[in-house]
Structure 1
Amino acid sequence: MSELILGRYRGIPAQDGAGVKLTRIINQPQLRYQDPFLMLDEFRSDDPNDYIAGFPPHPHRGFVTLTYMLAGRMEHQDSKGNKGVVESGGAQWMKAARGIIHAEMPKQESGLMWGFQLWINLPAAEKMTAPDWADYPAHALPVWHQGEHQVIVVGGEYEGLKAPIQQPEQRFLMLDIRPAATTELKLASQQHRCRLLYVYQGELELNGTTLSQGELVRLNETDALALQSINEGRAILLAAEPIGEPIAQYGPFVMNTEAEIHQAIADYRANRLHL
């Protein structure tokens, strides 16, 4: 194992919502929170029985969700009156903050549904701020090219390209990396203290180490990356600065203390979570 790679992990099968089958990559026994990343799920199936029940109305408080779709269509509706459909290549950002109730339901009855949902923590100072939501189609996400290589900037800023999704306090960065097979793609380090790479398709050679589909690696903050595609290898890069605060979680509520969790539950039961 190279000094660049600090650990190698695989997700586990899981279910969420009304029975949607998925792979839980972050926040599972082998890989817990990766501050500020609380959870990363990949959902991928062309069997409607695996996804058709979707994620009926449910609450959140204290963090941000980011949904990035590779294939398929998912509709969002929430208690603030927001409504939109995220489609292939698009991203959806929701700041739950002090509270929101939302539903995410498939807008298709057949075909491939493939994407990711990422939970990003908020610092204590922002957990009880106003909720927000935005939907971005594929054409709104900037693309950086290096020869035949392609890098989609889903969140943050890279090589002068600024994505519409930002979390500047943590210097959040999310890249969809699509290297060519003919040459190496070289990515400079942005010196994030938390840096993760997840291979979602094919295989990749990373600085001389072969990674296969379904592998996540923790990376050091300093080394540049040299990536080459094998079997149409593609990956998601996540990077950010840790918040460094206590995390208290109960299901869809993520706060700093158990008392704040109890308050979130009480607010939800009293129908004032999102007020």
Structure 2
Amino acid sequence: MTQPIKWLQDEIADRMLQKLDIVKLDVKDVLIVPDFPGKHLNTFAKRYPRARLTSLADESVSGFAMWRAKAISHWRSLFGSRTSSLANYLTSGRFDVPDNSVDLVFSDLLLQDLADPKQFLQECWRVLREGGLIAFSYLGPDTGKELRPLAIPELKLRNLSSPWDMHDMGDALLSERFSDPVMDMEYLTLDYENSSLLLADISALNLRDSTPIKASEMNVLPQKLTLEVVYGHAWVIGKHLAKAKDSVAYIDLNQIGRKTR
């Protein structure tokens, strides 16, 4: 997600937090991926005043800007937060976070840009503690549907890296052993006064290559853009119970106890 569309990331983060209003969770450590200096930091500071925040910031956000935003949100962030690069995760496929170390993973508009969201879910499972929660949002496959019928050679539309709809994601959560997944979806319509603004946003959303479009073809561009926004959350329950592989259950020896009288 590039800088011109950060306002959308901020809006969706706010909607995600509203959906979490009814969720009761004892939060000591939060992983925010990707993170940015948005309004959500104030909400985290008020809702979880003693929580430590770990950020994976994208390349457009400097470490100092992230530190400053957290410090302004809450003084404890001066001492209890940590920021690393989202690029490191995208390269390695692994969070720079220990196993079983966070209570909440909060991911805003990232999954649509990942070729393998299942690998992301596996990493979230690894770092979440027993009883932890993953909460996420991403752009679904109907995003930008107005652009597909257009016959403009220079437009060069891209498909989302992950075309999963909410049902695909729900199935993936269950297959990765998450419990009680809750999925939701809404359509947002963005209206535009001119085509230049539309092109800037679809580029920021990674829906097109940056090839210039002829002025004569700008008139056929739509004046609106549909976003399919998918929301979800799921719990980590029974993390240390038996693991199933190839229809065989494996139990850690530490889980076997002797009954005493």
Q: TM-score range by the shorter chain?
A: under 0.3
Higher helix share: 2
Higher strand share: 1
**TM-score, reference length from structure 1:** 0.24
